Structure 1
C-alpha cells in the first residue's frame, strides 16, 4: 500500500484554503502542473474525488472534507514536533537524563538545578537514584546523559569522567557526647556508629580509613540516605561519618561536627559520553561546573 506524502496533503490544504489551484501553487512555490499532479495522486490513492469546481471556485468534496480535517491535524502535529526538536537543537528546551546517588541529590544537585532553571527553564532534567557503578553502566548503554559518580573510577570506553568536587568527610556526633576537637578512628570505633551501607563508595572509603588505624568497627545500622543518618545522630542513636559540602546548611543543633584525624575526603566526578554533546546536556554540565567552586 502506497503511503500518502505530507507534501500532497499540504497541497490539498492550500487549495481548500484559497479556493484555487493557481493561488495554492503560488503560495507553495510550485508550478501549477505540480499542484494538479499532487491532487491526482491523492485521488488515485483514495479512489474518490477530493475537490470539485463550481463557478470557478474549488471546494472540497464530502470525502475531501474528511481527509482535510485529518490532514490539518497531522500537519499541525508535524510542525509542532519539528518546533520542539528545533528548540532542543538550539538548547532552549530538551530532556536530560541524570544519574546520581542520594548524597549528591540531597544538597548539591538541587543547587545546580536551581541555577539551570533560572537560565533554561524549559530543560527537563530526569533524575535516577543510582550507585556510581550503575550510573556508569547506564551512561555507556546510552540510557543516561550525565552522571555524578564517586571517585576514583576506572576508565570506561566511550565515557569522560572528570573531577568535580572534593568535600571533607566529617564526624557527625550527638551534641551531648563529650568529644575531642579532632576525631580519630580509635575514638569513633569505641562508640555506636551509623554508617553508609556497603553498596556505596563512602562505605568503602570510611572502612579503609578505620582499617588504616587498625580498627574494623561494626555499625549499629547501615543506611544509604544521609538525611536519615543525621536524624538518627540527632536522636543520640550513634555517630556517623558523612561528607560536608561548604554550601550545605549547618546540621541540627543536637549534632556537632568534628574534623577527622587524619583528614578524609569525599571526591565526586561528572561523567558523560564522548563526542558531540547536545546543547541541553551542555547547559546541565555548565550548571554543575558552576557549582564546583562553591
Structure 2
C-alpha cells in the first residue's frame, strides 16, 4: 500500500485555502493538470471524494475536511522538523556533548559556556564528567563530540587532539603545616598526601616529579574530585598537588597554596573527531580556543 505524499497533501490544503484549482496551481507553481492529478491520487488512495465543485467554488467534502485537519498538522510538523534541522546546519541551535574532568568543569568551562550563551544561545552543551581516556573512547564510538583531555595522549585514527592550556601544578597544604615558599619533593614526600588515582595523567605527572628526586611516596587516599580533595586539605587530612586552572575565587584560609621546585605543569588538549565538524560543535571549539594559553 502506497503512503500518502506530503506534496499531495500540500496541494489539497492550498486548494481548500484558495477555493480554486487554478489559484492553487499558481501558488504552488505547478501545471493545472498536475494539481488535478494530485487530487485524483489522493482520492484513489482514500477511496472517496475529497473536493466538490459548486458554482465554480471548490470546497472540501466531509471526508476531505477530516483529511485536511490531519494534513495541516502533518505539514506543520514537517516544516518544523526541517526548520530545526536547518537551524542546526547553520549553527543557530544544536546539542554538543562535551567530556572533561571535574576541575576543568568547575574552573575553566564556565567561561566558555558564558561566551556561548551570549553569542550562540541556541546551542545546548551537555557536559559529562569523564577522565581523559574515557573521553577519547567515547569520541571514537561517536557518543561524544568534544573532550578536554590531559596531555600527552595518543589520539588514534579518526581523532585529533589540539594543545589547549598549560597550567601550573601547585601544592595545596594545610595552613598550620607552615610550608616553605616553594615546596620540594623532599619536603612533601614525608607528609600525608591526597592524590589523584593512577588512572589519571595528573597522577603520572606527579609520580614522575617525585621519582626524579628518587622518592616514591604513597598517598593516604586517592580521589579524582578536586574540590573534595581541597576540602580534605582544609580539614588537615593531608596535602595535595593540583593544577591552578585559572582559579580566581577566594581561597579557604585553612589552605596555603605554594609553587613547586622544580616547577610542574599540567597540559590540557581539546580532542574531537577528525575532519569537518557540525557548526554547533565548531562554535564550542571557538569558545574554548579563547581560553587557550
Instruction: Give the TM-score normalised by structure 1.
Output: 0.96
CA distance in structure 2 between the aligned counterparts of 1:18 and 1:205, rounded to whole angstroms = 74
- Which residue of structure 1 aligns with residue 110 of structure 2? 110
Superposition deviation, residue 24 in structure 1: 0.9
Matched, 1:241 2:244: no
Deviation at 1:126, TM superposition (A): 1.0
Q: Which residue of 2 aligns with 1:290?
A: 290
Counterpart Cα distance in 2 of 1:126 and 1:69: 37
Give CA-to-partner distance per residue, 1:160-190, whole Å, 9 cap, x none: 1110000010000111111111111111111
Match of 1:3 in 2: 3
Q: Is contact 2:108–2:246 with CA below 8 Å preserved after alignment?
A: no
Corresponding position of 1:126:
126
How many residue pairs match? The answer is: 293
Residues 49-88 of structure 1: matches in 2 within 5 Å?
49-88=49-88
Distance 1:133 1:245 in 2: 20
2:111 is paired with a residue whose SS is helix
Is 1:193 matched up with 2:190? Answer: no
Query: 1:206-221, aligned counterparts within 5 Å?
Result: 206-221=206-221
* TM-score of the pair, normalised by structure 2: 0.97
**CA–CA distance in 1 between the matches of 2:136 and 2:248?**
26
Residue 281 of structure 2 corresponds to: 281
Answer with 225-234 or 54-63: which moved more.
54-63
Match of 1:272 in 2: 272
Cα deviation, 1:30-72, whole Å, max 9, x if unaligned, reads 1111000000001111111111222222111121112111111
SS at match of 1:58: strand
Gaps of 5+ in 1: none
- What is the SS of the residue equivalent to 1:45? helix
| 1:124 to partner: Cα distance | 0.6
Question: For the residues of structure 2 that align with 1:75 and 1:248, how far apart are their CA atoms?
Answer: 52
> Is the contact between residue 103 and residue 245 of structure 2 (CA under 8 Å) also seen in structure 1?
no
- Give the equivalent residue in structure 2 for 1:47: 47
Q: CA deviation at 1:247?
A: 4.5
Q: Is the 2:136–2:155 contact (alpha carbons within 8 Å) kept by the matching residues of 1?
A: no
Q: Is the 8 A contact 2:151 2:269 kept in 1?
A: yes
Indicate yes or no: 2:151 matched with 1:135. Answer: no
Task: Report the CA distance between 1:249 and its aligned residue.
Answer: 2.3
Query: Is 2:94 aligned against 1:101?
Result: no
Aligned counterparts of 1:107 and 1:61: Cα–Cα separation in 2: 65
Partners of 1:288 and 1:108 in 2: CA distance: 9
> Quick one: distance in 2 between partners of 1:223 and 1:122?
36
Give the aligned partner of residue 23 of structure 1.
23
Q: Which runs of 4+ in 1 moved over 4 A?
A: none
